[in-house]
Structure 1
């Protein structure tokens, strides 16, 4: 298809299903699992190049590329932080065509606290190569940033990237690895925080209607009073669950109208 901002997950029909999630790898089931399990005449595209900037401007750019194909958008799906981007994409689609149904899977809001959590969780993967003092100082930094700047996620992200880069420099030195290793790790972490900052600008409603929230076991949507479907599986299995595949297939085949 020659797309820049999207990558193709499946090619089963003319209509498109747009999937919003971080384009990097996941330890849990993701949209590739969903696309492989849904038997419907539609092709799934996954966001590949989020970029940075204002979220609605980015969404318009992503959708303009899709619109240039001349193929209609049948539905828009979002996962985790990507749920707040999916609604923006759906609004952009509705500017020039029929409003698509929107499904949001285990939607979460991006906050100062969630940025801090991602930082400390990511550091845990390198814990064997960091001292307890370094880890404690990093956790204290993250907590302090959230307390001091709860409404300034970009400032928090910049400080977390700076500390992460310094720590990865220590890891590289201890493992006798060259600077390319540090740059790769820091680049990946920076890309993820940039994605989360973009999602932090998003929303959990659309201008033309309300999305449906699909939640795994014990997950609660980030907003109240929403249309929801609960699936009795763990978060890690949500997008590979047969019940979810059937739900999406039914939506795409017109058996469900929400």
Structure 2
């Protein structure tokens, strides 16, 4: 299977340096993303944002192959990556990218993480639940009930993996979504775009479970929000050392990347 990953430009520069941003925003979520942060960062570099391949969970690839497709466009650019930034589950991939780029360019980029979290069954459950809000105008009660049943039932299956869980969710969503899209009169091209978006989103959550970010995170700087259920705040009582340095802010998780104070702090990190 050929995986194609593209990077979109958030900010262009004549500088030879690249700063990579890892997050998934195509589902129209409420949380702010890297476009908001990068607009306020005063650092001369080109900023790229990943657009991961549209593959479905359970298609037979692994996390290593998934991330490998991200590196090819970077190699072709001929630029040196100065830093990699990851938000939430994107922090898992950011750590993997730093390791691969260290081998490629001979030195490791800076690693900056925003409320870093490993993926989990609960994370997939929560994020997939947002689909109901996004598609509330076309899903009926039967659709929602069928999706909820799969979400709740499969979550209780002993030994189920993140990938197995996501694959079941995607299969059910294809069935339910097909009915809903037909009722709404969506044309096939638009429907296919929707499938690609949601398959890419579930894959992004899924293949992070194939990677071990913990060693890489020990070299990172983390930017933490005030939300107790997000990022390092969930691990606060474990006593575990997760990152090399942590900067804590009063902003909530959903607006962390809109903060001028956070942007100034990140600018200083990039200048080091």
TM-score, length-scaled by structure 1: 0.85
Separation in 1, partners of 2:197, 2:70: 21
Task: Map 1:1-258; keep pairs closer than 5 Å.
Answer: 5-12=6-13, 13-22=15-24, 24=26, 25-50=28-53, 53-96=61-104, 97-206=106-215, 209-218=218-227, 219-221=230-232, 224-226=240-242, 227-254=245-272
Segments of 5+ residues of structure 1 without an aligned counterpart are none
Of the structure 1 ranges 201-210 and 111-120, higher mean CA displacement relative to structure 2 is found in 201-210
Of the structure 1 ranges 233-242 and 146-155, higher mean CA displacement relative to structure 2 is found in 146-155
Of the structure 1 ranges 85-94 and 162-171, higher mean CA displacement relative to structure 2 is found in 162-171
Q: CA deviation at 1:175?
A: 2.8
Q: CA deviation at 1:249?
A: 0.8
TM-score, length-scaled by structure 2: 0.81
Q: CA deviation at 1:172?
A: 2.6
Of the structure 1 ranges 126-135 and 41-50, higher mean CA displacement relative to structure 2 is found in 126-135
Separation in 1, partners of 2:188, 2:79: 44
Q: CA deviation at 1:49?
A: 3.3
Separation in 1, partners of 2:217, 2:153: 40
| Distance change >3 Å, CA 128–CA 210, structure 1 → 2 | same
Segments of 5+ residues of structure 2 without an aligned counterpart are 56-60
Q: CA deviation at 1:140?
A: 2.1
| Distance change >3 Å, CA 208–CA 141, structure 1 → 2 | closer
Maintained 8 Å contact 1:91/1:206 = no
Maintained 8 Å contact 2:114/2:224 = yes
Separation in 2, partners of 1:60, 1:179: 31
CA RMSD between the two structures: 2.5
Separation in 2, partners of 1:22, 1:176: 28
